[in-house]
Amino acid sequence: MAKFNLIEEPWIPVLRNGRVEEVGIREALVNAHTITRIETPFPLEEAALHRLLLAVLYRALPPVRDKYEALALWERGEFDRESIEGYLERYRDRFYLFHEATPFLQIPDLPQEDLLPWSKLLPQLANGNNPTLFDHTVDKDPPLASYPEVARALLVHQAFAPGGLLRRLGVTSAKDAPLARPAAFLAMGTDLFQTLVLNLVPQEDPGVPIWERKPLRTQDVKGYAIRWPLSGVGVVYVWPSRGVLLVDEGQGVRWMGYGPGVEPQEVAWRDPMVAYRKDNRGAIFPLRLSMERSFWRDFGAMLPAAGGAWPAVLRHAGELEEEGAAFTLRVLGQVSDQAKILDIRREVYPIPKGLVTPKGELLLQRALQLAEDAAKGLRGVAWRVAQGVLGSRDASELQNFANSLPLLSLYWAQLDLDFTDFLSRLHQEGILDLWRNRILKAAQRAWEETRRFVGTEARHLRALAESERAFRGVVAELREKEVKG
């Protein structure tokens, strides 16, 4: 029996008129101009829901071929209701969460043996060997998930599931989902309509999404029988990374069938929501989030001068910005160690007018270089402290002591707070001088805390006195640097 149609049933959390409510796909798109934003505390859910809505728009609307057509759409202020409703009605049967022949983003004849808890769909829930991040769910007695909850979880899993051991249906190792490793970029406007237009990057061929294709069957994924080129926003934004069959218990879902999905065939295609960098051998890789550092410190890696590339959504939004549009940037994603999820993050940055221009890129590059140069000097200071306190010890022991000092961590923590303000004022006169002063203050505060951290015995005081000279050298060098933009 067909049940819970995602086009009509409320399941997408949005903020409208100051209140959070849930809406279906039709309402989210037809009345996007009345919705402030998708409102969810979970960063991966935010990215996955936007990608689903964008995949629908790429197929429902006339193609947006360049920035002028994007501007015309922007100025219209809302999406064409007739186009969206007509498209959704044509594929209405493919959007049921439960359907005997075509359950949304699932495989209807997947074996229902050795069922798994639905909680496996979400990395923030404990399951299997997944480390406990935010809860204490247990595999033997998973909680009953509501239909909206499990629908969002299904979408997240298909977008973010990391590869790893599987051992089902002739497949021993699953492949990464499209966003399992890369950071995802999302340009945010003042309402959901603007946000979707900002991320509706012109595409020559958006590809055919899964709801327009022949429904997948178990025989298609058994032993990875079929492969699809990893190409086209309509395809990749709602990619069937895993075979899933949700088991309806009448008022919710507790268990699911599980197996491999479609094997991705790597091709020369770049995801518009992903930034890329070039390594020392010239190979191109997507940028990832890191456990050790905030993402802004990697902005330099995607600058064209460094061989990298801005995400296409940022370039597209930048073109609209030239005509008066304004937006902020969200960086969403997870940090993983092979198949284990270690962290889930959302970072928000202001994007000043003209950032994605040669002048803006140059200012940003010099600012990041100033911060890294000062950090390099502080690492030398920490090493001097370690030598002064420990004397002639093994290099690894000295390095461990240097790493234990709060000098670098406090320095970067302060700049994490300062960077968004710097970025928002990128084109102000003398902005690099202001940034240099912020760096000097961050270094000074970190050094003062480090002095208090180190002991007060004679050897500690001698080490600090000798290291003080090294620190003053770092400060003097930073003050003398040419910083004109």
Q: pLDDT for 214-233, tens place per residue?
A: 999 999 999 999 999 999 99
Q: List C-alpha distances in Å: 301 to 57, 99, 288, 312.
A: 31, 46, 11, 15
pLDDT per residue as tens digits for the range 149-187:
999 999 999 999 999 889 999 999 999 999 999 999 999
Q: Region 412-428: what's the mean pLDDT? A: 94
Q: List C-alpha distances in Å: 369 to 96, 394, 395, 430, 471.
A: 51, 31, 27, 16, 18
- Token pair, residue 129, equals 């060997």
Whether 466 and 388 have beta carbons less than 8 Å apart is answered as yes
Q: pLDDT at position 482, please?
A: 65
Read off the pTM.
0.92
Please determine, for residue 130, whether its predicted confidence score (pLDDT) is greater than 70: no
Checking DSSP bridges between strand 263-265 and strand 227-229, what pairing results, if any? parallel
Sorting pLDDT into bands at 50, 70 and 90, what band is 352? Answer: confident
Q: Region 187-216: what's the mean pLDDT? A: 97
Q: Which residue has the tokens 């990608």?
A: 51
pLDDT per residue as tens digits for the range 9-42:
999 999 999 999 999 999 999 999 999 999 999 9
Percent of the chain with pLDDT over 70: 96
Q: Region 260-266: what's the mean pLDDT? A: 95
* Residue predicted with more confidence, 285 or 236: 236
Q: Region 117-142: what's the mean pLDDT? A: 68
Q: pLDDT at position 125, please?
A: 65
Sorting pLDDT into bands at 50, 70 and 90, what band is 127? Answer: low
pLDDT per residue as tens digits for the range 462-485:
889 989 999 999 999 999 876 655
Sorting pLDDT into bands at 50, 70 and 90, what band is 385? Answer: very high
Sorting pLDDT into bands at 50, 70 and 90, what band is 126? Answer: low
pLDDT per residue as tens digits for the range 442-464:
999 999 999 999 888 888 898 89
d(C-alpha 368, C-alpha 483), whole Å: 11
Torsion-angle region of 307 (φ positive above 0: left; ψ -120 to 50: alpha; else: beta): left
Sorting pLDDT into bands at 50, 70 and 90, what band is 328? Answer: very high
Instruction: Please state the three-class secondary structure of 137-185 as a single string.
Output: CCCCCCCCECHHHHHHHHHHHHHHCCCEEEEECCEEEECCCCCCCECEE
d(C-alpha 412, C-alpha 297), whole Å: 9
Please determine, for residue 314, whether its predicted confidence score (pLDDT) is greater than 90: yes
Q: pLDDT at position 57, please?
A: 98
Q: How many CB atoms are located within 10 Å of the residue 421 CB?
A: 12
Q: 131-135, 313-317, 451-455: which has the minimum mean pLDDT? A: 131-135
